[in-house]
Amino acid sequence: MEIVKKKPPVSAKIEGAKNFILNKNNTIMNELVTRPLNRFRAEEIGDHCLPSTISSLKTLHGLEFPRRWIKVPNRFGGETSVMEYSTSEEDKRKIIDEILGVVE
């Protein structure tokens, strides 16, 4: 008689967290394919810590994210320096073809 081990059930909370991260990562990659992002633009689409997301995407998928400092208007009438992240043409192809599986 063969003993079959069952996997322990995964809580809905953990599954929901995994789905949120996948969806957030996909959203950020979709944006980066079309335009550069900074922390304020990322906030508008639901990412509250873009540098951490960029680091995760680099580790998970081996992507490079060219970056540069830009100045954006702040609510006090001045300018604030923020990091802007973009992708190379080669990484855009990888994101579209391999990671997101988008057919043009």
Provide the pLDDT for residue 103: 44
Provide the pLDDT for residue 104: 46
Q: What is the pTM of this model?
A: 0.73
Q: How far apart are CA 48 and CA 57, in angstroms?
A: 15
Amino acid identity of residue 75, one-letter, is R
Amino acid identity of residue 69, one-letter, is W
The owner of tokens 């959203």 is 27
CATH number at 13-98: 1.10.10
Q: What is the mean pLDDT of each run of 10 residues along the chain (104 residues)?
A: 63 54 83 94 94 94 95 95 95 85 54
96: left (phi over 0), alpha (psi -120 to 50) or beta: alpha
Domain extents in the chain: 13-98
Provide the pLDDT for residue 100: 79
The owner of tokens 């990091």 is 83
